[in-house]
A and B are shown apart, each in its own frame.
Chain A
């Protein structure tokens, strides 16, 4: 079956339901009308039987006759189409109306016929027509007789068939009109959708800021348009971020490339000297190391960005993670004679749920920064506390700290501080961006708190109520 448009499908459904309803309605009307008319015929027959009673008489030959002398015009009796038969109680026919043309009306007498009520019933005549007849017992001149009076149902049936034909002709016409109207209404109702589709068709990477028009934010189409606009919003943001990021990354990759190029060109331009060549090559190698580090950082960012909360999560103890990272960095800490002070509020076996490998990188970056900026013989304090279902770990060093305006910007990709004290040995400028992205994706927050001396970096991660089994 070929796919029909939504508009056509709506119309077809609507027409089908309407057709069903109309047919049902026609059937009901027809049945009701038939019932009403039949009752009317019965009522008329009862009236007529009473009238006919008064017109009956025995003529001088003793035959039962119906008085005909009340007609104002002689041909008027031709208008009378009543069927009448009178029988005595033995079943002998006393009178038959000429309209019967000798046919019997109702056949043999039934017991108690016409005694109580009028026994309205439908009988089949010999000529195949049906008639609705009533019976009535009447006594005249000492003779008790049963009067049967009826009308042929043929005219009624004919009229009912005409009525039915009228109904059956009217229904398709009504359906056609309704279908056309339905098609128009559905078309008009769906028009905003078409406009939306047209609009959406026109949105490309270059005009992602375009939005769909919302006429009525409360109706279904408005809701859809809103959802669509939200999607566009997010895409727009992501796209912008990516564009900016690509530009930044290209810039960051160019810097080591420039240095490689210059060093090579200078080395080749000089008189050949093995020592200088060696020096140049080593410098080039160092730069490729930097390039490599930047690329790894970018890939890691992409990986963290693609990770969804809930993916690859394991239960682990934060304290253990911090201990592990401190272990890796211990040689730097010892070398600078930094004292690490740990204040732990919660138990070692209390856990969080996150991607451990990623979070380890985040903690490593933050702690490495703290160690890097710590002066010799200083104190690095790590405090962990438990706050409303969250684990909060603060790393505080006694280094140069962060300039007040840069507390947020340090998390920007490729950010480098303008303060000379903070630049010593800075890396690719991705460490904190990676840390932030990872912590965000773990459902947590990371920020720098303003402090008197040094820098205080706080990581907050949702706490997991379960504890690891103690071994």
Chain B
């Protein structure tokens, strides 16, 4: 390792930064889209104009945020090919499909109708416009579904097989890719987290208006919508947390063991370490405060299910490396036996015995590739090198341990916040409860903290794999010069930082102007007295 960042580190840094930046905007889009749908539904059902004005006001903020989401999202799609070319070759046969379907089924829907959401108020009937709003919300949710099908496959690659003739993974069962339990759990968890983000955004800004005594009628109603929607969403984030999906695969087990800093397997049901200092040198957790049974219950939803610890998982990884080396040896013979280019004939029929061997051990091929980081001729690896590679399957324990705990703590805080807001709103005490309004306002950044930590846990916990058990991250990069990646990395940082400043400035300006923006310049719409706001 040299002191300078190598291509793998630079590519990871670029992907991590651009993904986390993109994910500043996505959760708010997911949540606000549904909240807009709810508000406009109330407008169409009751006919009260204040609900139309609410929809238009929150719609302005939605639009600014959506633009940033689109601007940063396109980078993500290009980046797989630009920085992760070997990844794109190696798993494109499986991974490309959910991205393409996302465009065709979800993003087309969202992006085509979002224009009508803003430009269609005077051109559509009430019901038609409501349908447009819900189609935008549907599109953004379907979009999350397909992206998480793709991401879920990286965490738990089902329904695919290695093909030695094309040197890549190829799909065998697309249904199991779609109904991947990890993907389904992640989808519910991520979308609910987006709803929480949207709800806190609306609740916090409404609280600001109530504290200042401005736009009170709109703020009161918005806060009520946010409180009820947010409470349901916050409960679903925790209850349907995607931890349940972590028991599905080998690396998912490793991830949960690392998140819990659980070095050895405990007798079922395992205890949950509330606090402690994971020590990565001694493989112990110092000063641990444990809650009996809790982890076993959370992770396996049973009292008999065992949650394996890090050490036994490493021992198992060592076995898989040895099995993977058999597959790797067979693959080398198949490649060596391939006829010269242009010789014709059916290359897929050669080396029948080696093909049988490869098939028998193909699931472990990726484990042999872990050795590539240690030596290029992996078949000559010594026992100590194999053990070193096996320990490389353990992700960084302490960051995962702490990130996970902060995220979960925030999750429970959100439930309390929304429950209180819901109680205050339904007993009509919200406007007077200034202390609570302050808490709600200060909570504004917290859902983003939780969401970013959630991604961090999911993706750092996946290391050293880019595709769990199939392809190590260090092999997945493009064979391009590190300086190119550095140039684009700096470019993105400068470009994105500038846009972030502009975005926050415009958001703040729109919030300061309040619900008066987004209205046609006709006298009737400006005079608040025209609407019987006190009709409640």
Q: Is chain B a partner of chain A in the same complex?
A: no
Residues of chain A having any CB pair with chain B under 8 Å: none
